[in-house]
């Protein structure tokens, strides 16, 4: 298992400050570089891995430290993450000293707050155990297993790199956490992809899947579902137990995170797909920005390829990155201002149709707030006229307003509206598309000569909306020209 310690400093950790901190264990330690120089590893006697320190990240987006750590920090600040192997007791103290010395030199704070120290750690007695790195705890033929204990598991650059390595080696990524841990939307999206898995420790059943509730057993080098007596998949009691008490009885790891258990709020989920012509004038992110402004009154605050999200919002920089990575797809994370919980995952793909953007924007509302469903039709019209909308599906679900996911049963999102762009309406045929076999009257959006169709499905609480959506999509696909599928919602 690994233990994370993070230094949050107002000044950049320069080479001198980093070297002073890295030698907190004395000159007996060996240093090595990994991940093309982005990670420095400290090794004890015999090459035993003790601590890995990631390259400092300049965070310019307000609210990221509070969102991920429950710790307020004025922007801009530098985020330096140290990861210690808990197989060696001295390693955890060494990680705390590395970050504590950075704070002593540069100011700022350490998370967890009690981990910081400036004392020298004696590592001379650490036993040798071969080479490696304190990153992946178990690697088998089928899985890369990582044990994490922090309030909120985010899609950090470290975790994203492990995921890419696992995919390249045809292994599943399996993250094991205590029961009080929650996932950010980006981490949830990653772990929801087959064959990845969120494994939650549980005193009653041992382990269960934090997204499906299936009881898990370690077999053949990976966690997999256990069967009940009748042959069906067993479901953990903890997964279906109603939440209650502070933090649902969980502490979120060694230090309490951003808000404990809260009264169920609601989330508005907007999944949209746009297609653009691939030329030098292309500017990505416009549809997502329009949606953000329509639903929150402000543009996104920041974007990045991992968490913490560190770059101020810039469609131009986002486009430049996607162009540099083409023809490989780009996976991006976008966040809003702290006042309104909002985050999006974006996938940019180069296809024969052009450049496709699939974005899933999720916004959080407390129990007393109403999601702004009355703004969706006007938003759809704007996206049709100005941003090349192909499809948009909006839905509402009962879930945490802070957008994190706890290892508890959540109801599915209930569809509210579906918008079909003008290209697919034209391919299917306007007469066919506007006459679905359900009591739905679609609104015509965009230019009259080549309209899009906007289908109201429900108010976000009507469970019959799923049936209407299924009948609608089946009707639209009867034509030889199938419309673009709605972007997948988490």
Question: What is the per-residue pLDDT across 400-430, written as a single tens digit (0 to 9) for each?
Answer: 999 999 999 988 999 999 999 999 999 999 9
Query: Residue 125 pLDDT > 50, yes or no?
Result: no
- Asked whether residue 97 is assigned to any structural domain, the reply reads yes
- Specify whether 356 is located in the same domain as 324: yes
Give residue 437's pLDDT band: very low, low, confident or very high (50, 70, 90).
confident
Residues 429 and 302 in one domain: yes
Does 289 lie in the same domain as 216? Answer: no
Q: Examine the fold and report which residue of 196, 220, 249 is the final residue of a domain before the chain moves on.
A: 249
Write down the pLDDT at residue 52: 85
126 domain-assigned = no
Contact 273, 355 (CB under 8 A): no
Considering the domain architecture, whether residues 87 and 142 belong to the same structural domain is answered as: no
pLDDT, tens digit, for every residue of 172-212? 999 999 999 999 999 999 999 989 999 999 999 999 999 99
Asked, for residue 482, whether it belongs to a domain, the answer is: no
Same domain, 302 and 435: yes
Q: Is pLDDT above 60 for 156?
A: yes
pLDDT of residue 200: 98
Residue spans of alpha helices (H) in 336-449: 376-386, 422-428, 430-433
Domain extent, residue 54, equals 2-115
pTM of the model: 0.88
For residue 58, give the CATH number of its domain. Answer: 3.30.310
**What is the enclosing helix (H) or strand (E) of 308?**
none
Indicate if 447 and 324 belong to the same structural domain.
yes
Phi-psi region of 341 (alpha: psi -120 to 50; beta: other; left: phi over 0): beta
Domain-embedded: residue 359: yes
> Which of 136-140, 162-166, 369-373, 440-444 bottoms out in mean pLDDT, i.e. has the lowest?
136-140
Same domain for 165 and 102?
no
Q: Are residues 368 and 295 in the same domain?
A: yes
Measure Cα distances from 398 to 370, 412, 469 in Å.
12, 8, 19
Phi and psi torsions of 184, nearest 5°: -75, 160
- 254 inside domain: no
Are 282 and 226 contained in the same domain? no
Residue 378 is assigned to a structural domain of this protein: yes
Q: Residue 120: inside a domain, yes or no?
A: no
What is the rounded average pLDDT of the residues 455-474?
94
> Same structural domain for residues 222 and 365?
no
- 8 A C-beta contact, residue 391 and residue 484: yes
What is the pLDDT at residue 250?
Answer: 40
* Predicted local confidence at residue 86, as pLDDT: 66
405, 188 Cβ separation under 8 angstroms: yes
For residue 111, CA distances in Å to 65, 80, 84, 294, 378 come to: 10, 10, 14, 36, 44
- Phi and psi (nearest 5°) for 82? -115, 135
Per the model's pLDDT, the better-predicted residue between 450 and 483 turns out to be 450
Please give the tally of structural domains in the chain: 3
Of 202, 223, 249, the position where a domain reaches its end is: 249
**pLDDT value of residue 245:** 41
241 and 347 both lie in a single domain: no
**Is the pLDDT assigned to residue 164 strictly greater than 70?**
yes
Do residues 230 and 290 both lie within one domain?
no
Q: Tens digit of pLDDT for each residue in 19-51? A: 888 776 666 677 776 666 667 877 776 676 788
Residue 259 lies in a domain: no
Mean pLDDT of the chain: 87
């Amino acid at each position: 298992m690994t233990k994370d310690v993070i230094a949050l400093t107002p000044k950049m950790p320069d080479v001198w400050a980093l070297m002073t901190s890295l030698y907190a264990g004395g000159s007996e330690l060996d240093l090595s570089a990994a991940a093309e120089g982005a990670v420095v590893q400290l090794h004890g006697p015999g090459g035993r891995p003790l601590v890995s320190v990631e390259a400092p990240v300049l965070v310019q987006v307000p609210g990221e430290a509070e969102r991920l750590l429950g710790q307020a920090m004025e922007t801009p600040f530098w985020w330096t993450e140290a990861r210690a192997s808990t197989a060696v007791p001295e390693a955890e103290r060494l990680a705390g000293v590395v970050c504590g010395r950075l704070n002593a030199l540069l100011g700022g704070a350490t998370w967890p707050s009690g981990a910081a120290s400036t004392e020298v750690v004696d590592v001379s007695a650490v036993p040798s155990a071969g080479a490696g790195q304190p990153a992946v705890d178990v690697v088998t033929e089928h899985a890369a297993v990582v044990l994490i204990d922090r309030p909120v598991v985010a899609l950090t650059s470290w975790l994203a790199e492990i995921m890419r390595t696992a995919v390249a080696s045809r292994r599943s990524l399996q993250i094991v956490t205590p029961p009080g841990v929650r996932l950010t939307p980006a981490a949830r999206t990653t772990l929801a992809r087959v064959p990845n898995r969120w494994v939650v420790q549980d005193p009653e059943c041992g382990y269960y899947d934090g997204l499906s509730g299936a009881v898990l057993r370690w077999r053949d080098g990976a966690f997999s579902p256990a069967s009940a007596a009748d042959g069906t998949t067993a479901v953990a009691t903890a997964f279906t137990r109603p939440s209650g008490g502070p933090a649902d009885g969980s502490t979120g790891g060694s230090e309490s995170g951003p808000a404990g258990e809260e009264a169920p709020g609601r989330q508005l989920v907007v999944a949209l797909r746009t297609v653009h012509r691939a030329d030098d004038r292309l500017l990505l992110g416009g549809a997502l920005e329009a949606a953000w402004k329509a639903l929150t009154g402000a543009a996104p605050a920041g974007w990045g390829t991992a968490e913490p999200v560190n770059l101020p919002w810039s469609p131009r920089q986002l486009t430049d990155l996607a162009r540099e990575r083409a023809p490989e797809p780009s996976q991006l994370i976008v966040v809003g201002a702290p006042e309104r919980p909002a985050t999006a995952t974006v996938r940019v793909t180069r296809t024969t149709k052009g450049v496709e953007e699939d974005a899933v924007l999720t916004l959080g509302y407390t129990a007393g707030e109403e999601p702004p469903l009355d703004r969706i039709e006007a938003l759809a019209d704007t996206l049709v006229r100005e941003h090349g909308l192909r499809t948009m599906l909006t839905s509402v679900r009962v879930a945490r307003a802070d957008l994190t996911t706890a290892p508890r049963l959540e109801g599915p999102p209930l569809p509210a509206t579906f918008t079909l762009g003008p290209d697919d309406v034209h391919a299917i045929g306007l007469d066919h598309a506007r006459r679905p076999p359900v009591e739905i009257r679609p609104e015509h959006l965009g230019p009259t000569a080549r309209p899009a169709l906007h289908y109201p499905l429900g108010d976000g609480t009507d469970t019959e909306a799923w049936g209407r959506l299924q009948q609608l999509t089946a009707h639209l696909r009867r034509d030889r020209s199938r419309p673009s599928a709605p972007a997948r919602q988490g």
